[in-house]
Structure 1
């Protein structure tokens, strides 16, 4: 399927959910980090791609990746479908487009289920991340 970018929206990539954030990049990151911690998830890493680009003399809009999860939820998925370890722990991208809008992008749980074919009863192990992101972006 061809990627397209309708005016006023984030690029389409199969399996990726793009959500417009009503908050600044900094506030969006702070809210997501708080949501991760409040749900007893582990924030494994925060990658600031813009900062790293700056170190090598390149300029890019703000682009951050939070890597998070819970081994109790992720391990059964990896046992059922080892290749899902390529997408676990979960990741959420917070980025700013050329019009200064802030987006939050992540891979949908249902897409990962279809991609890796793990049992339906394990979908709940990662589906809560979609809900967490949606709730975080609500005022």
Structure 2
């Protein structure tokens, strides 16, 4: 199995590949949504993933959470339970996009790309790194409030 970081384009059909301006326009935020974001610091109610994509990402999560995964060495970081408490699980990883097709291709999701571009002032968006936190319902650990760069 290859390191998916070596592939610089989508490798599945999970996300639509816009070819025309009209294809991209379906993902565009309204001027009101952008103004709301700049005033309030968030936007709610934007559909970024459909059910099929969510299911593919859930299957990929099951795959990458396996500490015995044959490509485990490609993770930049892997913690099966970062909380340290077996009753409060907090899975955390960086590099899963190098291992699972769904996580690899989600960075090309046109809905993500359009929204990010618009909120950054219509600039090109470039992937920096991935980070995944997974907390099981009702007994997951927590990530303390913090400020990233």
Q: TM-score range by the shorter chain?
A: under 0.3
Structure with more of its chain in helix, by fraction: 1
TM-score by length of 2: 0.23
Please say which structure displays the higher CA radius of gyration: 2
User: Relative contact order (alpha carbons < 8 A, sep ≥ 6): 1 or 2 greater?
Assistant: 2
TM-score by length of 1: 0.24
